[in-house]
A and B are shown apart, each in its own frame.
Chain A
Amino acid sequence: MMGIFEYLMFLLGSLPALALWIAVIIFGIVMLKRGGGRAERFLIAGGSIKLLGNLLIVPSFMIMSWLLRMDYSVEYANTVNTGYGIFRNIVSMAGIICLIYAFWVKFNTRNTEPVASLPNN
């Protein structure tokens, strides 16, 4: 059974990832306000979904310990936790795909507008 110390340690362990995704969202918002487009929107969406995915880790441990406290078997608790883990990872996967797509859009925009910054002769 997880104690309060383990919870705190776990929260501390996931803090860098949370801070990182918050930084990505802020960076995306700043870029969007400075005239960003579709890529920046996908960057914000990806960062937000990844942040949500990271926040969803904490309840997974609570669910496990709650089920064990309610006298459910370890196998049942593990199955429920695995189902929740799959859901959380699907959310995370959606975030990663949004971020990769944002990068892809930015890469293609760069390739299709190479002459925009060149002076006319």
Chain B
Amino acid sequence: MEKDNKRGAAGVLNLTNKMDTSIQVVEISLLRYVPELVAWVIGLVLAIIMVRQGGGKAEKLLLAGCSLMFLVGIISVLLGSMTPWLLEQRISAQEFGLIRSISIIPSLAGFICLILAFFVRFKTKKQEAT
């Protein structure tokens, strides 16, 4: 009986250690999102400055694009930190993939905003030059 209890306690300790390790692994893997988030924050700040200095449609689109891409970064961090919990829920790989694909819509919208911003700005400049 005492032996079983000891074995059970050791099992719980082992499981706790494994969970701690997985949490540490997730915390370390979240670091990978930092550089891109920093870049989008820089973009966001510059876009705000440009809009406040009398920026037009292009600058507003850039601001929207940077905001959406920053949002995608935040969603990625949140999903990354939720991964152990999601795995504990024993969801299927398809469900996991579906949850991870939440960020596709804002990402696509952000891309479109950025491309339009560049197109408008560079085309406007060309028209001004001619």
B115, A34: Cβ atoms closer than 8 Å: no
Scan residues 30-62 of chain B and give those whose CB is less than 8 A from a CB of chain A: 31-36, 38-40, 42-43, 46-47, 50, 53-55, 58-59, 62
Q: A75-B21, A103-B118, A104-B46 are in contact. List 12 more A-B contacts (CB 8 A).
A: A20-B111, A20-B115, A27-B122, A31-B122, A34-B126, A40-B122, A79-B28, A81-B29, A82-B28, A88-B32, A107-B55, A110-B125
Interface of A is mostly: helix
* Interface residue? A116 (CB, 8 A): yes
Interface residues on B, range: 35 or more
With CB as the reference atom, state the residue of chain A lying closest to B38: A93
A97, B39: Cβ atoms closer than 8 Å: yes
Give B contacts to A, CB under 8 Å. Answer: 21, 25, 28-29, 31-36, 38-40, 42-43, 46-47, 50, 53-55, 58-59, 62, 66, 108, 111, 114-115, 117-119, 121-122, 124-126, 128-130
A106, B35: Cβ atoms closer than 8 Å: no
A90, B62: Cβ atoms closer than 8 Å: no
Interface residues as binary, A31-46 with B (CB distance below 8 Å gives 1, 0 otherwise): 1001100011001000
A96, B36: Cβ atoms closer than 8 Å: yes
Interface of B is mostly: helix
A89, B125: Cβ atoms closer than 8 Å: no
Give A contacts to B, CB under 8 Å. Answer: 16-17, 20, 23-24, 27, 31, 34-35, 39-40, 43, 74-75, 78-79, 81-82, 85-86, 88-90, 92-93, 96-97, 99-100, 102-104, 106-107, 109-111, 113, 116-117
